[in-house]
A and B are shown apart, each in its own frame.
Chain A
Amino acid sequence: MSNYGFVPHGSEDLSEMLKTVGVGSVDDLYAAIPEKLRISKLDLPEGISEYEVLKRLSALSKRNDSGLVCFMGGGFYDHFIPAAADAIASRGEFTTCYTPYQPEVAQGTLQTMFEFQSGMCRLTGLEVSNASVYDGGSAVFEAAAMSYRVTGRKRFLVDSAINPIYRNMLESYAANMNFEFCEVPAKDGKADKEAIKAQLDNTVAAVILQNPSFFGCVDDYTDTAKAAHEAGALTVMICYPLSLAYLKTPGEMGIDIAVGDAQSLGLPLGFGGPYLGFMVTTTKLARKMPGRICGETHDKNGNRGFVLTLQAREQHIRREKATSNICSNQNLCAITATIYLALMGKEGLYEAAESSAKNAAYALQKLTSIPGVERTFQSPCFNEFAVTLPVCAGKVCEKLLAKGYAGGIPLGKSFEGMGNVLLVACTEKRTKEEIDGLAAALKEAIEEVRK
């Protein structure tokens, strides 16, 4: 038996199998690789036991501060996650299977995908969801590429109040596609509807905006979507799924493609992932959408069942003519989100969204009562808001961390002239004591920085 774990071969098995194959040793199986290109040993440490692995990783995990009270958002939020979400999604039957290419033995995955698509449609008010893409940023790129396929145009009007990392990803991904991204400066923390309207013409593929904006501000973009349609363009909206239990939906506004990250639906912050990119669109545009889609059908006996469908869009069939290169997606995260949506339900998700917004309203009131701290934008917000401090927000952020608060995201690095601005988010998990504590810590931190 091997010393290294996970391989069951005993020495008798080994010799019998080698004999069957007709070679003298395992190394003989590598004869096709020229001898001089082979190595005899990797320069890595010897293996360790399962117990030692856990001990080492536990020690590493403790060198992180998991006790910070989290007021950071920026698209990724510290929402409550019910125990049953991960408990069920982590079952081996969900985790250790492959993409459901054999539907007869994958109805568990497939029906859950179908329920995920249903949930995303109900949240966004749109008609067709795929079964996930990687993350919010790659979803924005996919939406841009999809808009190009639909309109044949390569110019995009991009609101400057979208997540700046997504903006960077959009440009990184599209670097060799000859797309033109025209930034439309935001107005009072959110997309400037008048400026967008003025710039729309028959060369624009899509308007790309975010609601709530990166700064947390909300608006109704019905008119923008209408104006885009009149110019033959699409509207892509980056959404925050949990907020859609409360906010006007992309569907109600006439948006063509809703995208974003569904981390807020039951996934831990996990230092950046795995998260859950999503895309939802209209029936009309469904065939232009990338990624796997699950559809309802029946078996030969007439029983309802589910299969991957519209696969003629995908790389394993279409190769270089596919709508995208995506193959692996974030399926297990979509399963977690589906279970989360069912656990929270109609009332629960609404309550979580409403509480998050109420807590933010209280936090805004508390923080702006500190002398010198002002609300940066007057636009209405949901659960996140920007405040302008009398001193450098980066320095304050550092002081807050030392006091046990991940107090927000300083915006100076990403936005010119916003060196004193701190972006603060609340979820339903934040308590009055925590918010009061942040306010007190912020007051102290500002004084410390001033010294």
Chain B
Amino acid sequence: MKLIYEESIPKRRGVIPPKSGIECETLVPSSCRRAEKAPLPEVSELDVVRHYTNLSRLNYSVDTNFYPLGSCTMKYNPKVNEQVARLEGFTTLHPYLSLVPGGPEKVQGALETIYETEKKLCEITGMKAVTLQPFAGANGEFTGVMLIAAYHKDRGDSKRRRMLIPDSAHGTNPASAMMAGFEITSIPSDGKGWVDLEALKAALSDDVAGLMLTAPNTVGLFDSNVGEISRLVHEAGGLMYYDGANLNAIMGHARPGDLGFDVVHLNMHKTFSTPHGGGGPGAGAVGVKEQLVPFLPTPRVTKKADGTFEVGVADSTKSMGHIAPFFGNFCVMLKAYAYMLQLGAEGIREAAGLAVLNANYLKAKLQDTYKFPFADQICMHECVCTSEWQLEKSHVNTLDIAKMLLDRGYHAPTVYFPLIVHEAIMIEPTETESKETLDAFVDAMKEIASITETDPEACHRAPERTPIGRMDEVAAAKNMILKA
């Protein structure tokens, strides 16, 4: 398709902005004005609507296709969430109202929503307090490890410079810990995909600040040693960090707080059904146990004795300060709140159970066709297989299989992650998919496996039925054409 800039016709107008009729001169001297008007598109409103509507149709999305992208929890995003987030009583609120005298009285409904969302997340995670400020999962990780750093510092324990991170972790874990000033020690996984306990013991010492653990982990397995891991880390004086990327597997069945974790981040855009938006905005609530509460970011919403809500601004000398200017991605949180209200205690538990069932069903159906490195264990909400059998036999790799799926109307699973599985294919169906959809996907995966044997060349050519063919990514990095 053409770029919107290529559709531009000089003098063509789109939307006409409102005019006040005030004809005062502006106060900007000419030395502070731009030399020429910004060369933005000159197109009609219909040009714009048609251009972006047609562009949108080039995407696969949960609304149009099965999207079993591992680690991303591509569940259905209920439409009522969108309606709630667009209520005028929320969208028109200026955030500074929360901070000025007399302002909080004007935004009581918004403050109550924040307070209630935090309370629900406390119960789901087994934590003492939750902040909604972090903008996304990685930002939540950063907030969480900064809280751990602040906690040790406050105790005068300045030696704790190291953060332990299993080698199966998402790349954001080491990157976040690094930004928080930690040195990273990678802990290997054992043959079962769990944390290698002996390696953990060897790494623990009085300079360890904590351990960042994803549970279930990124190979979709629940590490039954979690209680022992938590005991060992605590015994060494460290804190336990829960990466909530995979909370969808266990919500309502187990709580990070009960498992021994001290701080947790959640991805509202995964577990709590807020849409991913092609990469964001997400929202990354962070929950903490009692000992970390004083360090939470400012501002905090509190409930007064008379039942009204107020906003507390950084008076605590211990608060880590602002992670977001106000309350993070507030309108995203509204969607998560609506979801939790609608599902309730039973619905949340049921969603997790069916997500796990769907993943195990796919694994059971596919394990004769693809190699599952941890076939003997019940998986959680996702299962990881590899293309090793296909690669060995006919030189068709994971990327080829991913592209073959695109041709069959499926978004590809996550590929080449986790790094500890060679040629990984990570499949997360989520609870909102039906047995018929899973069966059809299984058929497609089996058909692809058979084509890898009969016509491996076709696999390298794929995709051929998508809006565009396999892309030259090397040329993109080399030519660096990054704007029109």
Contacts and interface: CB of A to CB of B under 8 A. Distances in A.
A356 B132 CA distance: 33
A240 interface: no
| Interface size grouping (class) on chain B | 35 or more
Nearest to B5: A118
Interface string B420-441: 0000000000011111000000
A228 B95 CA distance: 35
Interface residues of A, number: 217
B171 A318 contact: yes
A96 B63 contact: yes
A347 B38 CA distance: 9
A256 interface: no
Contacts of B475: 297-298
B24 interface: yes
B20 to A, nearest CB: 5
A24 interface: no
B360 A21 contact: yes
Given A68-B106, A122-B38, A358-B22, A274 B484 contact: no
Interface in B1-42: 1, 3-5, 12-29, 31-35, 37-42
Contact of B278 (A65, A99, A301, A318): A99
Interface string A288-324: 0000111111111101010101101011111111101
B179 interface: yes
A110 B331 CA distance: 24
Contact of A394 (B74, B101, B322): B101
Interface string A317-338: 1111110111111111101001
B402 A20 contact: no
Interface in A172-195: 172-173, 175-177
Interface stretch (A69-77, A151-159, A200-208, A229-237): A69-77
Given A300-B469, A357-B27, A60 B109 contact: yes
A29 B357 contact: yes
A53 B42 CA distance: 42
Interface in A387-413: 394-395, 397-399, 401-402, 406, 409-410, 413
Interface in A55-98: 56-66, 68, 70, 72, 74-76, 78, 80, 82, 84, 86-98
State the main secondary structure of chain B at its contact with A. Answer: loop
A345 B62 CA distance: 32
Contacts of A44: 120, 123-124, 340, 344-345, 348
Contact of A301 (B112, B326, B469): B469
Nearest to A59: B109
B463 interface: yes
Nearest to B23: A358
Interface in A89-129: 89-100, 102-109, 111-112, 114-115, 117-119, 121-123, 125, 127-129
Contacts of B338: 53, 57
Which of A98, A129, A283 gathers most chain B CB within 10 Å?
Answer: A98
Interface in B48-100: 48-49, 51-53, 55-65, 67, 69, 72, 74-78, 80, 82-84, 86-100
Contact of B324 (A21, A23, A75, A272): A272
Contacts of B97: 68, 72, 271, 406
A344 B354 CA distance: 46
A283 B480 contact: yes
Nearest to B184: A320
B406 interface: yes
Which of A8, A33, A413 gathers most chain B CB within 10 Å?
Answer: A33
Contacts of B431: 6-7
A84 B48 CA distance: 9
A325 B142 contact: yes
A388 to B, nearest CB: 17
30 contacts: A6-B431, A7-B354, A9-B357, A21-B378, A39-B252, A41-B252, A42-B124, A53-B80, A63-B108, A64-B110, A70-B92, A97-B59, A104-B468, A109-B279, A122-B39, A134-B324, A163-B325, A245-B34, A268-B92, A271-B326, A286-B480, A295-B482, A299-B471, A310-B477, A316-B171, A328-B280, A339-B48, A344-B14, A345-B15, A365-B24
